[in-house]
Amino acid sequence: MAHENARSSVSRRGFLVGSTALAGSAFAAPAFAKDKNDKKDKGEQIITGDSPDSDMPLKKAEIEFEGDHQAGISTPPQAFANLIGFNLYRDVDLDAAKRLMRLWTEDAHKLSQGETPVGDLEPELAWTPANLTITCGVGEPFFDKLGLTDRKPGWLHPIDKFDKDKLEDQWGQTDICLQICTDDPITLAHATRHFIRSSVRYAEAKWLQHGFLHAVGSVEKGATGRNLFGFKDGTVNPSSDEEYNDQVWIDEGPEWSRNGTCLVVRRISYDMDEWEKLDRMSREMVFGRTMGEGAPLSGGDEFTPADYKKTDEIGLPVIDPMSHMARAVNPDDLPHQKLRRRAYNYDLPPVPGDVDHSNSGLIFICFQKNPEEQFTAIQKRLNEADRLNQWITHIGSSVYFCPPGVGEGRDKYWAQGLLES
């Protein structure tokens, strides 16, 4: 087995312990001890990054790691993301899972603050966090494999398959999901490799989903991102603490789950070949919004509430009742059917021999208290009648419990409350 080979080699923690015996060795410390405060060697320039006139504004851009909630959820979306689905090896028990979570939490903390994790031989790649966040979620199999089935939230199970879904196992449920987001692609690649490498004794990566939005500086700060159909994606989202408390953060159940949330990941394939046959007006009718500003077709700007009763000069609704916008909005009597959208685009080379000339789509990421009452309820409505269904297909689905944040007075590592309760 792959992990048996890995265990026969020297682990990075074990190597460090052994290397401390080399008291006089030049190899014992420099590569590992260096952090973001120790960069002034060989004439390296000290970059502040936070100066208004700095040409490297991301150099020291950091997102606070500790807090009531994990970073990467309410955090404004960064430009690039990797989602990695891991499956634990069969012989990983509860104690081993605790070690993995301690290891990952420690390394995530350091990397997000521009510091070098223990054993990292590429410290230069860690010095530019560029708003790096690492968010951890655990799936239903994680609970089952570790003998924690009785602690599993009632909603933590696969999303019911809808008749228009064409789910592929390669994008299916995993034991653990790491969402790694940053504004720098090299930082992203380094962090991704680091977590895959550090898990080699505990888990293997089943899939990796790479996503992107606009690069920093190419659109106004805080602007809603666009999907590859050309429309703004994520206009309707919680913005205040009150809205996050209502829609996202778990506030019931066992103490170890409170301030956590539920992560749903859906991989949605776009039929770009057929979509591009539509004229601009038809595309706007499908979505119910303008392509330029993202305003509802009933008028106003991007954030103007839609008027679904407004009609045109011949009495037809200005916003098609079957448009994506109209089907996605929560009914007045179901105000809880809202969630935190944090989607990313993907664009891969066309599959050789495939009739389609594109391989593009959306990694739909959303956070909520309970997917049965939020995501699933919304998706059921969309599956029944959404004009956009003609050009999209859901090909991947997974669900995770994201533990609360860590820090002083809180858990010391991800899911500590769950694993030690």
Q: Provide the percentage of residues in the chain whose pLDDT is more than 70.
A: 87
Res. 22: pLDDT tops 70: no
302 DSSP assignment? T
Taking only the tens place, the pLDDT of each residue in 276-307 is 999 999 999 999 999 999 999 999 999 999 99
The structure tokens listed for 131 are 């708003």
3-state secondary structure of 211: strand
Taking only the tens place, the pLDDT of each residue in 395-406 is 999 999 999 999
Q: What is the pTM of this model?
A: 0.88
Identify whether 47 is part of a domain.
no
Res. 14: pLDDT tops 80: no
Contacts of 41 by beta carbon, 8 Å cutoff, 6+ apart? none
* Least confidently predicted of 50-54, 182-186, 344-348: 50-54
234 DSSP assignment? -
Query: Residue 366's beta-bridge partner residues?
Result: 264, 341
Identify whether 239 is part of a domain.
yes
Identify whether 14 is part of a domain.
no
Identify whether 156 is part of a domain.
yes
Identify whether 10 is part of a domain.
no
Identify whether 302 is part of a domain.
yes
For residue 343, the surrounding DSSP H or E stretch is none
Identify whether 146 is part of a domain.
yes
- 357 confidence band (pLDDT: 50, 70, 90): confident
- Is residue 403 within 8 A of residue 136, CB to CB? The reply is yes
Distance CA 289, CA 296 (A): 4
Q: How many domains does the chain have?
A: 1
143 DSSP assignment? H
Question: What mean pLDDT comes out for the span 102-119?
Answer: 96
- 155 confidence band (pLDDT: 50, 70, 90): very high
The confidence score (pLDDT) of residue 212 equals 98
The confidence score (pLDDT) of residue 36 equals 41
Taking only the tens place, the pLDDT of each residue in 256-283 is 999 999 999 999 999 999 999 999 999 9
Identify whether 96 is part of a domain.
yes
- What range defines the domain where residue 326 resides? 57-420
- Is residue 231 within 8 A of residue 294, CB to CB? The reply is yes
The structure tokens listed for 379 are 């998706």
